[in-house]
Amino acid sequence: MNRKMKILGILASAALAALVGTGLYLRFGLQVLDRPGMENPAAPMLELLSAQWTSEDGVWSARIEGETLDLSYQQDLVYSGSFFFGFDGDDLNIKTELDFYNEQFESEDGSVSSTIESLYVENCRMYLVLTTSKEGEGSIRQQAVLDRVEYGKPAESELGEIREVSEMAELVEFSWDQITIGDNGFRFHIVCAGQNPIDPRLSCRYMDQEAHEIVQIGDEGSIELCPTIPSARWEELADFLRKAELPAYREPDPSPAGDMEVHAVPFVSKIQVTWRDSGEEFTNSYRGHYADELLELLKDIARETNSKKSGQNQPAPEGSWTCSCGQAGNTGRFCTECGQPKPAENETGEMRKVSEMAKLVEFSWHQSAMSYDGCFDFRITASEQESAAPRLYCDYTDPETGERIEIGEESSGFQGFRLDGTRTDNTACPPVPLERWEELADFLRRAELSPYSLPEPGLMDATDSNIQVTWRENGEELTNSYSGIYAHELLRLLQDIAGEVSRNALEEPKPE
């Protein structure tokens, strides 16, 4: 699958390059549906369309002027032709399809051809679906989303409420998730674990481009295993964020459905910043697509934090282990230096056996994939009170509706901890019925899952799917880590549980 996607990606680039090299374009006359003897009802839409349009990454651009639509790839003209459409009314946000007399164009030798499957505007944004194929090879289907340049009225999908941040506001929590193809994805999370001192704790995972290796610092599942960053660097980050002019975040558009391979993968880059001002907390969400300076600052903070932590000369705690990279004193499931999993559990396949008497304490499944829909999180944590129901947080794409589902509040605690460092039962997350919790435990006892291992560093299109299950037996807790690459039945069970939890939450009467 990965190799096929790479080949198709290369073919798509070659196809576009061939078309650009020929300088080929088609031209037809404009025909807008009109009513004889009446004012043109399509005039408002035509006025909206007549502009320069560009995708967020600048790869695709379109220009509509007079009778012509010019379509460019990387600033090179690949198509020029006319269109017609139907529009009647004044709602510029409705979906309006642009139709063409000739939707196909090809290279001079006929070996590479492209077809405009769909081009439409909706909510003041333009959507292009294009198929490119090469003779004797496969086809590649792409989607590009273009925004109108210098348009006075912002698109509804771009509107976002960004609270102003004063100089007196205190930074409470920062997170940045980026999901994309290849090694450009990362995760940074810093949260204040105390009030005085603030004790900001860091967990992160990113690709070090110079060393060509994945850097993982801290264990987001446990605040004690996350190192403290210097307070001066925390204030430096806060000052940077106050001055930064970052655009508001919006959810990416889903990839087009179809039988062919889809080359375009939604690029997700979400920054969330929580501030406290005059006793009130609020969170702003930004897009991080071009925040290169912020990313370099975070990596520099991570390097400094990691070097200070590695230089500490402290006795190794009981039960610690030494990683193959030489880092000693590890107590969590991952090496704090290089991010490799604990060998006994994840590399040699020596999983701890789980008896029928073992009690399920905690379950988590995090998957990062090449597509946005393939990424998800499920976390269920049992309460310390035996009779209390476990609590659920999840974020995934419904396979039937394509809707992104989020249940619970991830920001309600640092994965089981309040901001002051004490444990929380995640009351902001809804309860899981005890019978479903036992059903999950029974499934996990019988499931034959393979041990987890990190994907190869730098591997394109790699899927990182990590299931962690914690059990308690005879007063002792043990955690096994599994690979979730082929655990489709388990995923369906979790989605079914999440659906029931969501329905129960809607039916539950709210307190007055």
| pLDDT-derived band at 90, boundaries 50, 70, 90 | confident
Read off the DSSP letter of residue 219: B
What share of residues in the chain are helix, strand, coil (percent, to 5)? 20, 35, 45
| pLDDT-derived band at 361, boundaries 50, 70, 90 | very high
Same domain, 138 and 185: no
Give the CA radius of gyration of the chain.
26
**Distances from the Cα of 295 to the Cα of 27, 182, 183, 188, 430, angstroms:** 44, 17, 14, 9, 34
Q: How many domains does the chain have?
A: 3
Q: What is the pLDDT of residue 317?
A: 54
Task: Specify if 15 maps to a domain.
Answer: yes
* Residue 415 φ/ψ region, left for φ over 0, alpha for ψ in the -120 to 50 degree band, beta for the rest: left
Share of the chain above pLDDT 70, in %: 67
Task: Specify if 318 maps to a domain.
Answer: no
Q: What is the tens place of the pLDDT at every residue in 94-151?
A: 888 888 777 777 766 667 778 888 889 888 888 888 887 776 666 777 778 888 876 4
Q: What is the mean pLDDT of residues 461-483?
A: 86
- The CA-based diameter of the chain, rounded to the nearest angstrom, is 90
Strand order across the 476-483 sheet: 404-407, 391-397, 376-381, 359-368, 464-473, 476-483
Q: What is the pLDDT of residue 507?
A: 73
Give the residue among 320, 288, 289, 306 at the shortest CA–CA distance from 230: 306
Q: Is residue 9's pLDDT more than 70?
A: no
| Domain end among 114, 138, 157 | 157
The helix (H) or strand (E) run that includes residue 12 is: helix 2-22
Most confident region among 4-8, 261-265, 287-291, 340-344 by mean pLDDT: 287-291
Most confident region among 70-74, 107-111, 128-132, 375-379 by mean pLDDT: 375-379
- The lowest-confidence range among 92-96, 188-192, 254-258, 306-310 is 254-258
Same domain, 129 and 42: yes
- Chain Cα centroid distance, residue 443: 29
Same domain, 493 and 379: yes
| pLDDT-derived band at 414, boundaries 50, 70, 90 | very low
Residue 344, Cβ neighbours under 10 Å: how many? 13
Locus of tokens 């990362």:
186
Task: Specify if 330 maps to a domain.
Answer: yes
Q: What is the pLDDT of residue 240?
A: 95
Between 202 and 369, the higher pLDDT residue: 202
Q: Is residue 381's pLDDT more than 70?
A: yes
Strand order across the 170-179 sheet: 213-217, 200-208, 186-192, 170-179, 268-277, 280-287
Same domain, 348 and 483: yes
Q: What does the alpha-carbon distance between residue 332 and residue 172 come to, in Å, rounded to a whole number?
A: 25
Beta-bridged to residue 217, according to DSSP, are 204
Q: In this structure, what token pair is assigned to residue 507?
A: 């039916």
Same domain, 308 and 192: yes
Which domain range does residue 175 map to? Answer: 160-312+324-338
| Domain end among 90, 124, 157 | 157
| pLDDT-derived band at 295, boundaries 50, 70, 90 | very high
Q: Is residue 156's pLDDT more than 50?
A: no
Same domain, 176 and 43: no
Same domain, 267 and 385: no
CB 198 within 8 A of CB 171: no
- The lowest-confidence range among 25-39, 68-82, 219-233 is 25-39
Q: What does the alpha-carbon distance between residue 300 and residue 314 come to, in Å, rounded to a whole number?
A: 24
Same domain, 178 and 67: no
Same domain, 148 and 195: no
Same domain, 501 and 433: yes
Task: Specify if 244 maps to a domain.
Answer: yes
| Domain end among 105, 126, 157 | 157
Task: Specify if 454 maps to a domain.
Answer: yes
Handedness of CA 380, 176, 400, 261 (dihedral sign): negative
Q: What is the pLDDT of residue 386?
A: 63
pTM here?
Answer: 0.41
Same domain, 15 and 132: yes
Task: Specify if 392 maps to a domain.
Answer: yes
Q: What does the alpha-carbon distance between residue 382 and residue 364 come to, in Å, rounded to a whole number?
A: 12
Task: Specify if 448 maps to a domain.
Answer: yes
Same domain, 332 and 479: no
Q: Rounded to 5 degrees, what angle do the CA atoms 510, 511, 512 make? A: 115
Q: Is residue 76's pLDDT more than 80?
A: no
- Three-state DSSP at 469 gives strand
Q: What is the mean pLDDT of residues 455-466?
A: 67
- Specify burial of residue 57 (Cβ count, 10 A radius: 0-12, 13-18, 19+): exposed
| pLDDT-derived band at 34, boundaries 50, 70, 90 | very low
Task: Specify if 424 maps to a domain.
Answer: yes
